[in-house]
Amino acid sequence: MSDTQIILESKGITKRFAGVTALDGVNLAVHTGKANVIVGENGAGKSTLMKILSGVYPEYEGQVLLDGEEVKFKNPEEAIKRGIAIIHQELNLIPNLSITENIFLGREIQNKFGLLNYKAMHEQASKVLLRLGFQINTRTLVSELRVGEQQLVEIARALSTNARVIIMDEPTSAISDADVESLFKNIEGLKKENVAILYISHKLDELFEIADRFIVLRDGKMVGISENAAKTSKNDLIRLMVGRDI
Ligand code: ADP
Ligand code: MG
């Protein structure tokens, strides 16, 4: 076992929307090679925190640290360049483009004449999808894929940018049980490659299958942390989430 390594941190993050304090002084540490699972009821602030870490919200109070140094992402592209990718609850693909075009959107490979090098892009797209156990003609339009397959395309896009932190916001909310199982296998594989997974969900049952550590948010505050998910009981987690016995 290697020592725990913190790749990404938030320190005292506060985020206000008109009239609403979505996050209130949140400290979070994200460990490499682990499934860092954020739990909390609807409205707890999970997505807002993830959007700050991934550059979607450039305005906030507090600090984000990457490899121990403060970063201030102005947009998601800057976060991606530093190895942080987010897969949103609502997938972010263009249905009438091919798998390859989606994976390389905005960072297309060109040949020396400035023309798009589709051959190279298809090859790389196939390769990265194979790492996820997905064998398919990458000329296929995204609209022809199941939601679970579209999610694989998003993960492939993250991997092809060499993401070291992959944030998944409620990734199982719209996919079949079989796709959930294959997603979990892929998460295990990514952990072995030392990718840090930041996984958001409020489906407690499935979380125990993949979580290495839990971070609990309630009403915009970090209210609990467990460094050993296997030793955490579901009841303890629920109590932390809702703030009382139920
Ligand atoms: P979660 O993902 O845990 O369900 P969110 O981060 O989406 O929670 O929301 C946290 C709180 O911030 C909620 O009260 C929500 O209504 C509010 N909120 C989130 N996004 C916005 C926004 N863009 N404008 C105003 N309020 C927002
Ligand atoms: Mg959310």
225 within 8 A of 213, measured Cβ to Cβ: yes
Q: What is the whole-number distance in angstroms between the Cα of residue 141 and the centre of ligand 1?
A: 33
The Cα–Cα gap between 161 and 156 comes to 9
Computed on alpha carbons and rounded to an integer, the radius of gyration of the chain in Å comes to 18
Q: What residue owns the CA closest to ligand 1's atom 5?
A: 45
Q: What is the whole-number distance in angstroms between the Cα of residue 60 and the centre of ligand 1?
A: 14
Average pLDDT per consecutive 10 residues, the chain (246 residues; last block may be shorter): 82 96 98 96 95 97 97 96 92 95 93 92 96 96 96 94 95 89 94 96 88 96 94 92 79
Query: CA 86, 8, 106: angle at the middle one, nearest 5?
Result: 35
Please name the amino acid found at residue 93.
L
In this prediction, residue 1 carries a pLDDT of 47
pLDDT in tens, 31-84: 999 999 999 999 999 999 999 999 999 999 999 999 999 999 999 999 999 999
Q: 135 forms bridges with which residues in the sheet? A: none
Dihedral sign, Cα of residue 22, residue 24, residue 25, residue 30? negative
Q: What residue owns the CA closest to ligand 1's atom 14?
A: 43
47 lines ligand 1 (CB under 6 A): yes
48 lines ligand 1 (CB under 6 A): yes
pTM of the model: 0.93
Around ion ligand 2, which residues have CB less than 5 A away? 47
Q: Which atom of ligand 1 is nearest to the CA of 40?
A: 3
Ramachandran angles phi, psi of 22, nearest 5°:
-80, -35
Q: How many CB atoms lie within 10 A of CB 194?
A: 13
Please name the amino acid found at residue 58.
P
Q: What residue owns the CA closest to ligand 1's atom 22?
A: 17
In this prediction, residue 246 carries a pLDDT of 63
The Cα–Cα gap between 71 and 118 comes to 34
222 within 8 A of 215, measured Cβ to Cβ: yes
In this prediction, residue 129 carries a pLDDT of 96
Q: Which atom of ligand 1 is nearest to the CA of 51?
A: 6
- The Cα diameter of the chain in Å comes to 66
The string of DSSP codes covering 107-155 is S--B-TTS-B-HHHHHHHHHHHHHHTT----TTSBGGGS-HHHHHHHHH
Q: What is the whole-number distance in angstroms between the Cα of residue 172 and the centre of ligand 1?
A: 20
The preferred substitution site among 14, 15, 28, 48 for testing ligand 1, maximizing ligand atoms within 8 Å of CB, is 48
Helix (H, G, I), strand (E, B) or coil at 44: coil
Q: What is the whole-number distance in angstroms between the Cα of residue 45 and the centre of ligand 1?
A: 6
39 lines ligand 1 (CB under 6 A): no
